[in-house]
Amino acid sequence: MFTLLNIAQPDTQQEAYRLLTAKKSNVILGGCAWLRLGSQTIHTGVDLSKLGLNFIKEYDTYFEIGAMTSLRDIETSVALNRWFSGILAKSVQSIIGVQFRNVATVGASVFARYGFSDFLTALLALDTEIELYQGGRLTLAAFVDMPRNKDLLVKVIIHKTSRTAAYLALRNSQSDFPVLTVAVSRLDGAWKIAVGARPTRAKLAAQAAVLLAGAGRDVPPDCLRQAAELAAEELPFGANMRASAAYRRLLCQTLVQRGLTEVTACR
């Protein structure tokens, strides 16, 4: 059983960061869904409720999503899901249940970079940046590859590019963590292919994207297949209770090819 000794509810990001870094065992409190699982002693839990980070804001060229926004808000945001073929809603809607998604936060989902994260996979296939209090602004792709350190994720910024996108995931039970997640998108000739739950955190298949970029506007089906094969080849896969590495690799090929096909079919 975990122990939490103190709660702090800072009024500024600066104070939140100071509290977070004041002691090794201090943490930011996100949705707290899995807090109970641990057995650690937390000196101070930093609650961000007073920082006004629960928002989805739409601007001319981008969206901003605050760290304390719930996954349920992502799912039901009409504005957000007018864009990117609605993949953000699609990516979160299979996560356990409504009451869980009302609790789970964007900040925790993105910052923790969980391997099984559906949402991270979808974001990675878009033009996404994040803003860290200390680390500043950086692309999500760069952040995903960074080692863990203490910082405060303030918000997620998604650029309103006219990407068409597709999201696919495979689960054993429908309320389980995914066996594999795939998000693909296209902006003119530029492709992004993100594959998550490998079972490690989502990653972009860069070589496959390059191959597709060279194929021009109307990608021939053969090239889609090749790109899917390449994605399965270039990304590392592992095993966990849900599936073997070998199955994930084969599955990656199928799902990426389906995703690419779905996107090319979009007008």
Site residues (CB under 8 A) for another protein? 1-7, 29, 31-37, 42, 45, 47, 49, 72, 93, 96-100, 102-103, 170, 172-177, 179, 241, 243-244, 246-247, 250-251, 254-255, 258
Say which residues have a Cβ less than 8 Å from residue 220's Cβ, sequence separation at least 6: none
Distance separating alpha carbons of residues 197 and 199, to the nearest angstrom: 4
- Considering the complex, state which of residue 72 and residue 203 has its C-beta at the smaller distance from another protein: 72
- Considering the complex, state which of residue 23 and residue 137 has its C-beta at the smaller distance from another protein: 23
CB 175 to another protein: min, Å: 4
- Considering the complex, state which of residue 98 and residue 138 has its C-beta at the smaller distance from another protein: 98
Distance separating alpha carbons of residues 88 and 124, to the nearest angstrom: 11
**Chain center to CA of 107:** 10
- Residue 66, beta-bridge partner list: 155
CB 62 to another protein: min, Å: 27
Q: Is 3 exposed, middle or buried (0-12, 13-18, 19+ CB in 10 A)?
A: exposed
> Both tokens of residue 228?
């899917």
- Considering the complex, state which of residue 42 and residue 231 has its C-beta at the smaller distance from another protein: 42
CB 141 to another protein: min, Å: 27
CB 198 to another protein: min, Å: 14
CB 188 to another protein: min, Å: 28
- Residue 57, beta-bridge partner list: 64
- Considering the complex, state which of residue 89 and residue 165 has its C-beta at the smaller distance from another protein: 89
Whether the CB-CB separation of 7 and 27 falls below 8 Å is answered with no
CB 140 to another protein: min, Å: 25
Distance separating alpha carbons of residues 77 and 57, to the nearest angstrom: 10
Whether the CB-CB separation of 183 and 209 falls below 8 Å is answered with no
Residue identified by tokens 């996979």 is 121
Q: What are the helix and strand counts (H, E) for the chain? A: 11, 12
- Considering the complex, state which of residue 140 and residue 224 has its C-beta at the smaller distance from another protein: 224
